Chains A and B, each alone.
Chain A
Amino acid sequence: MSNEVEDAIKRICAHKGVVGLIVINYEGIPIKSTVDNALSVLYAAQVQQLVDKSRTMIKELDGNNDLSFIRLRTKKHEVLVAPDKDYALIVIQNPVETSQLASRESRRSFSLLRIFHRVLQPYVHPPRAVIVAS
């Protein structure tokens, strides 16, 4: 297996809130998974149907259109599905964590605080008169 793919999978799993990543093939069989077998089989079976159904829906609405991504927000998780012809990728993620909201506040306060902590007032030069070359 190529390192690139392996790295990418590792990277994705290292992201905050990511519970697991499952790669299923076109038959709905999980071929790569970072969660336990039972769960991945469960997800694979359900997602495969969902993908088919969704794709059918999209195709019915517009024959030239195609499905490219599914985000499924649930109470507990967010299920991200990237379907393709030969495979589909599933990521299960816990999207919102309180720590993140805290980080936002700190970021904003960072920006506000800085206004009052100008260490150095830059020298200010008013527009000067142009010196005409003699």
Chain B
Amino acid sequence: MSFNKNNPKAAGGGSGKGVKKRGKRGGEEDYYGRSNKDLIKPHEQEKLSEAALKEEIIRSLTAIDPLKPKNLVVWDYNESTFVPYIQPEQTVTLFSLESELLFKESDEIAAFKGELIDDIEDPEEDETDKPDEKVKKQKGGRSSVDSKGEPESAVKEEPKPAEEGEGEEQDQGEDGESKPGDKPKKLLNQFNFCERASQTYNNPHRDKISQTQPPPQSSHKDYCNQWIIYDAYSKDKDNAPKVSTKLEPVEAEVPGGDEQGQENEEKEKEKTKKLKKEKEGGKLVEKERVKMRKPSVVEGQAAVDLALLKASEGLRMIERMVTQNVYEDVLEDFMYFEDASDEYRDTGEGTVLPLWKFAYDKAKKMHVTGISWSNSTPDMFAVSYGSFSFVHPVLDGMVVIYSLRNPSYPEQAWLAPKGAMSVDIHPQKNCLVAVGLYDGNVAILNLKKNEQNEAKTIILRNIPTEIKHRASVWSVRWGADDFDGNPNFYSAGMDGRIIHWTVGIQDLQGLGGLNGTEVSTLHLPLPPVQGPDGTTYKLFGCARCLAFHPKEKTTFLVGTAEGNIFRCSSLYGSRFPQIYNAHFLPVATVQWNHFHPEVFISCSEDWTIKIWDRRDPEPMYVFEIGLPILDVCWAPYSSTVFAGVTDEGKVLVYDLNINKDKPICVQQVVTKKKVHPHRLSFNPHYPIIIIGDDRGHLTTLKLSPNLRILPRDTRNIFLEGEQKTSFEINKMAKLLSLVRDPESITNPKVIPGPGGDVVTPSSGKPVINHI
């Protein structure tokens, strides 16, 4: 309960005990005569109903000091016991007032009697009648107080007589209660009171509980450790480099402003400006942060697309893994399967086991025109698709990069504008692939991705027409890098020219192009032909295949459609150290032996495979197969093993060291008739060969152990490095010495003079001796 101002406070008067009744004035005016309406109540003041306001409040004063301790004891040392400690009286005089009251019986009362009665009656007049100034003047000090407040309240009291009346009635009622005890002679006795005490009910405590809607819950799990925290921090740091630099000066100045804060207004203004700046800065920071976050927290479909776009690399990996599961058996065979039956064959024959088959839908109808394994990545190879058919040339071609790890789909594919006729992967730089096209152009594919070359991994520069080939490019081969380290390659075209192309490093970035210089033109060793108008015209051979010597980087061989093999040097173009009259029909392939520096092999559709010593214009060995041979290839692991494919789709594998007469493996590798395998290539690392046919299919075959017998030393350990090379060279040399006249060994053959004007003896026809 709090006191309302409506409760007129009895003046501090009243001695020890007393009951303060509510002042009789009550109602509209307070003790000081001010109107209730004017009262300004503090807002936190409790609001009470009318009845509550009128409730009696009892306050009591007691003379007993409640703080005074009772029953004090002190330790008596004499009696060694506690004795009650009697304190002196602790009476505190709170209030003292000399009474003006007199006893009735006393003598003095008579003297005051008349006055007293007047005094008592006056207050009643105050309440019942409207106060007027006269009455107040009659009153003592108290009325003078009222008169001061009168002018204000008098005006306002007038319009509310009714309310006043109520207040009066109540007051009278209260008075009435106390009246019965009084005699008609009113003598206000302060001591005549009745104390009413009542025990109110204590408000019972009530616990009120209400259940609210539970806040949404979500469980979140995450791993956290040092490096994750570190990563998050570093990411955050990376995200907001500008922010920190912006904020630092502002933050540094603000504390200074705080210190000087109250010096003068200007400084305060500055300070507020700075604060504003800081706030703006803060906003900026937040904005930037939002910006920074946005890319990573893009919402909806865009985010999905973005993430999926990034997923291409992962998809490639997962595709490989899926295919690894799908072709698990093939993979196991590739790694571990060795044909056990090889051991039981006396003749040293072997088999080939088909492994993966590669087929690309878009290259279905095209011929495989070239296969090139990557030297440094043993599972990667490039295939060029085009057409060998003169009658139905395929206009568009394709170059496809495959990996053995994913036989189902190529790693990369380039749709060539014209049929691609040949392909070669750079032996060191895997990412460079040279392509020769049907229309005489050459192209370079850069498989590596970089900024300039993001999606298009191809660099194709159209070469000035006076330099480029005027007929299809049948063969491209990389040469050794030049002195500047620029990659360069050679191309051989149907127009009988060999062109050397240099690729500038800056060209690879997508700027310039290829620089071509003609190395030589393959003029046939025939007298010039008379033209219609009397001019003479030198015939040239149409280059079909190109082979670079593995050691001597300037020496190379070119097989022509006329059946000649030109041994050329890139140092001097117009003269040829040797021209071999090799075949009746176009030379399909020519290849140097991997070990023996003098030996090369050639094949043709005239049913023959020939092995040559380059010092000898005549072949050392001639293998007449009885079927057109479309391709032949030396094995990279042995000097005496080579494989060829026939027109009918058979693979022949020879090991001259084992059997000079028969192939040690003959096997059909294409299942359908009318499918001609055009290209064959040995993997440089694994014992597998790949065969490409004219349906665009590629077949990989694993060679059985008999087909790849490796040299061992006396302790049955495989020879390595130099030892192996010399062993292989010796093996080949022995074979050559078998067929060579002793005379020719001691006295090397006279090599026909350089230039195209030498005709090799006996019309160059290889004579086949049947024994």
Which residues does A use to contact B, with CB under 8 Å? 1-2, 4-5, 8-9, 11-12, 15-18, 21, 23, 25, 31-32, 49, 52-53, 56, 59-60, 63, 68-69, 71, 78, 80, 82-84, 86-89, 91, 93, 95-96, 100-101, 103-104, 107-108, 110-112, 114-115, 117-120, 122-134
Contact = CB atoms under 8 A, between A and B. Distances in A.
B761 interface: yes
B304 A32 contact: yes
29 contacts: A1-B305, A5-B311, A15-B322, A23-B307, A23-B311, A32-B304, A63-B227, A69-B317, A82-B315, A88-B314, A91-B321, A95-B328, A100-B328, A103-B329, A107-B353, A111-B352, A111-B353, A111-B667, A114-B351, A118-B666, A120-B648, A122-B625, A122-B652, A122-B662, A123-B625, A127-B620, A127-B735, A128-B621, A130-B618
B223 interface: yes
A11 B360 CA distance: 12
B304 A110 contact: no
B743 interface: yes
Contacts of B318: 12, 21, 80, 82, 89, 91
A110 B221 CA distance: 55
A132 B624 CA distance: 21
Q: What are the 3 closest A-B residue pairs judged by CB atoms, nearest first?
A: A127-B739, A128-B769, A124-B661
B353 A86 contact: no
A125 B663 contact: no
A94 to B, nearest CB: 9
Give the most central of B325, B337, B661, B662: most A CB within 10 Å: B325
Measured as residues with beta carbon below 8 angstroms from the partner, the interface class of chain B is 35 or more
B617 A15 contact: no
Interface in B199-257: 221-223, 225, 227-228
Contacts of B627: 120, 122
A122 B666 contact: yes
Given A23-B307, A125-B768, A120 B626 contact: yes
A9 B315 contact: yes
B2 to A, nearest CB: 60
B749 A122 contact: no
Given A5-B315, A56-B223, A120-B626, 13 more contacts: A2-B312, A17-B326, A82-B315, A110-B354, A112-B351, A114-B668, A119-B668, A122-B666, A128-B739, A128-B768, A129-B739, A131-B618, A132-B749
A79 B416 CA distance: 38
B315 A93 contact: no
Nearest to B616: A130
B353 A87 contact: no
A128 B660 contact: no
Contacts of B760: 133
A11 B319 contact: yes
Interface of B: 221-223, 225, 227-228, 303-305, 307-319, 321-323, 325-326, 328-330, 333, 337, 339, 341, 349, 351-354, 408-409, 616-618, 620-627, 648, 650, 652, 660-663, 666-668, 735, 738-741, 743-744, 749-750, 760-762, 767-771
B351 A25 contact: no
Contacts of B739: 127-130
A108 B326 CA distance: 17
A127 B618 CA distance: 13
A60 B660 CA distance: 60
- Which secondary structure characterizes the binding site on chain B? mixed
B328 A96 contact: yes
Contacts of B616: 130
A18 B322 contact: yes
A37 B311 CA distance: 20
Nearest to A134: B761
Contacts of B652: 122
Contacts of A130: 616, 618, 620, 739-741, 744
A86 B310 contact: yes
A15 B741 contact: no
A15 B354 contact: no
A15 B312 contact: no
Nearest to A18: B322
A89 B311 contact: yes
Contacts of B618: 130-131, 133
Contacts of B768: 125, 128
Given A17-B326, A112-B351, A130-B744, A8 B315 contact: yes
A88 to B, nearest CB: 8
Contacts of B321: 69, 71, 80, 82, 91
Contacts of B317: 68-69, 82, 89
Contacts of B304: 1, 25, 31-32
Given A80-B321, A111-B354, A132-B741, A87 B310 contact: yes
A12 B315 contact: yes
A126 B318 CA distance: 53
Contacts of A103: 329
Contact of B622 (A68, A69, A128): A128
B353 A108 contact: yes
A14 B158 CA distance: 103
B621 A127 contact: yes
Given A78-B325, A118-B666, A84 B314 contact: yes
